[in-house]
Homo-oligomer: A and B are copies of this chain.
């Protein structure tokens, strides 16, 4: 099947606010949502970097009370979310602010689901299981990869089954996505690198997705263009302009994949992340080149534009050239950013590969892959990436 983008499409994004030194606007956003007592979800790293303080001050400036919840770890766990919801209810909060990377923001979204729908977060796995409206939600990313601040997804670790579960619903997109790129200045090098590779895989998978459309493509291509320009320089020199470009790339990639969904990279990354608690961006960086090699034969029509976004000028009829350029440029980009290149180096065990491939066939992200893949195909990809 050759994917030329879907003719019927839907596109939905929250209100977006983007700009340096805007984190102190969180208070006015929360007040505009009608909040009186804010449940602020973040983590220790973001607290130590000083950003929680900025938000707390802006809440105080608007006369809002707040409760701080920081019991969130990377690849957020089901019980952390169940516990957060109890805290929210105990304190009588009425609006949620999520500040941090994908983990803090997904935890905030998960808590929002539970406080109005009850039960445990695992009850909501899959598509459209949420029936009651969520409390107002403001999400502020402090990394450059997750896209959770605009997306219709929540990814949570099921600690019994050791697997990531994906919750998908238009309800979980926040009311406001507020990005202050200055927050990247305190992000450790390693996370700049790995979250940017997450954004890159979001953009590439969104662009190839069978549910892509011109509405998502323009955002996917912009993300790829910005990453191609600033990723390596941001990792090496950390200039504010380049960091801002990464923030912006993450936002554009989020707008794309939230509406076009993803593909095999994420279908495989979810079970891997669930089993090993491995860094999500690193897993994607390892898988992306192999999945690209697998996908490219069925997406040739889209490659000249992708090559353009990667900084090359390719004639529309020279699709073979575009394929090589795309593969090579993305691999050199990952290399130059010192992204890991093998699953082995991330702690993945060879004997687990068949089970991981099997789990990936049931992941929601496989549905929009441009090329159909069964467990055997997925296992081959995993072996090549091992």
Interface residues of A (CB under 8 A from B): 7-13, 15-20, 22, 213-215, 217-219, 221-222, 226, 244, 248, 251-252, 313
Q: Which 9 A-B pairs have the closest CB atoms?
A: A8-B19, A218-B218, A11-B16, A218-B222, A12-B15, A9-B18, A7-B19, A10-B17, A214-B248
Chain A interface SS verdict (over half): mixed
- With A218-B218, A218-B222, A248-B214 in contact, do A18 and B13 touch (Cβ < 8 Å)? no
Q: How far is the CA of A248 from the CA of B244 in the complex (A)?
A: 30
B218 adjacent to A214 (CB under 8 Å): no
Q: Complex Cα distance A251/B10, Å?
A: 12
Contacts of A18 in B (CB 8 A): 8-11, 213, 215
Instruction: Chain B residues near A19: list those with CB within 8 A.
Output: 7-9
Residue pair A218, B16 in contact (C-beta under 8 Å) = no
User: CA separation between A222 and B220, bound complex, in Å?
Assistant: 13
Q: What are 26 of the A-B contact pairs (CB < 8 Å)?
A: A7-B19, A7-B20, A7-B244, A8-B18, A8-B19, A8-B22, A9-B16, A9-B17, A9-B19, A10-B15, A10-B16, A10-B17, A10-B18, A11-B18, A12-B15, A13-B13, A16-B215, A18-B215, A214-B222, A214-B248, A217-B222, A218-B218, A218-B219, A218-B221, A218-B222, A218-B252
Residues of B within 8 A of A214 (CB): 222, 226, 248, 252
Q: How far is the CA of A12 from the CA of B13 in the complex (A)?
A: 8
Tell me the minimal C-beta distance from A278 to chain B in angstroms. 31
Q: Which residue of B lies closest to A255 (CB)?
A: B215
* CB-based nearest B residue for A218: B218
A7 to chain B, nearest CB (A): 5
Q: Which residues on the B side are within 8 Å of A17 (C-beta)?
A: 9-10
Task: Give the residue name and chain of the B residue nearest to A315 (CB).
Answer: B313
Q: How far apart are the CA atoms of A53 and B12 in the complex, in Å?
A: 28
Contacts of A20 in B (CB 8 A): 7-8
CA distance A328 to B288 in the complex (A): 42
Q: Within 8 Å CB of A215, what residues of B?
A: 16, 18, 251-252
6 additional A-B residue pairs with CB within 8 Å, beyond A10-B16, A11-B18: A9-B19, A10-B15, A10-B18, A13-B13, A214-B248, A215-B251
* Residues in B neighbouring A219, C-beta threshold 8 A: 218
Q: A251 CA to B214 CA in the complex, in Å? A: 10
